[in-house]
Amino acid sequence: MEFADLDLNKIYTYADYYKWKFEERVELIKGRIFKMSPAPNRRHQEVSAFIHVAIYNHLKGSKCKAYSAPFDVRLPRKSKDDKDILTVLQPDICVIYDESKLDDKGCIGAPDIVVEILSPGNNAKEMRNKYEVYEEAGVKEYWIVSPQDETFLVYTLTNGSYTPSRTMTTGDVVSSSVIPGFSLDLSQLFSK
């Protein structure tokens, strides 16, 4: 099967997604296919690596795990059966405290933290849909990083709804309510 063979108006499940072997990278959001941007640019990868290494090093020795893309995060609504899962995302980085959510295919259930690093190819519809599914699934913190604008925004789940931080940039230090003692110096993150 080729990507061109897919009906973009159809609702797909993780069972469908898992069988696809074409080169294009896609995500499913509520059963709809979203084609991912081409391979991220160098700056995106540098920012991703910096954040992932900082989190990984902070968590070393704990049961909490951090993963970077490509890594499937399946967000079930009805059941955990592949044929019932309509949302499969590949966040740039995710942090998972509950080891029971991890299997050989990735993560099934809401990670504690999801990090999305914006690329020029990200569109508003995609970002709005991701925000909604992460909030509905119960992702405790949703970080959005823009290497182009050198900004960092943290959405924290409070009583089932996201509360945004102020927009942070060079000179600010990001901390997390989910990872005790963790901090990220944005001057270092965004240094060229």
Give me the tens of pLDDT residue by residue for the chain, a chain 192 residues long: 788 989 999 999 999 999 998 888 899 999 999 888 766 788 999 999 999 999 999 999 999 999 999 999 999 998 999 999 999 999 999 999 999 999 999 999 999 999 999 887 666 767 889 999 999 999 999 999 999 999 999 999 999 999 999 999 999 999 999 999 999 999 999 997
pLDDT at 41: 85
Residue 23 within a domain:
no
CA distances from 24 to 67, 128, 188 (A): 21, 22, 33
Three-class secondary structure of residue 58 per DSSP: helix
Integer angstrom CA distances of residue 126 from 75, 108, 131, 180: 16, 21, 9, 30
Answer for the pair 76, 107: CB distance below 8 angstroms, yes or no.
Answer: no
Residue 22 has a pLDDT of 86
The predicted structure's pLDDT at residue 125: 67
Q: Is residue 49 part of a domain?
A: yes
Does residue 9 lie in a domain region?
A: no
Q: In the prediction, which pLDDT does 7 show?
A: 92
CATH number at residue 165: 3.90.1570.10
- Domain presence at residue 59: yes
Residue 127 lies inside a defined structural domain of this protein = yes
| Number of structural domains in the chain | 1
Task: Give domain status of residue 115, yes or no.
Answer: yes
User: Is 162 domain-assigned?
Assistant: yes
The residue range of the domain holding 58 is 40-71+89-189
Q: Does residue 21 sit within a domain? A: no
- Farthest-apart Cα atoms in the chain, separation: 49
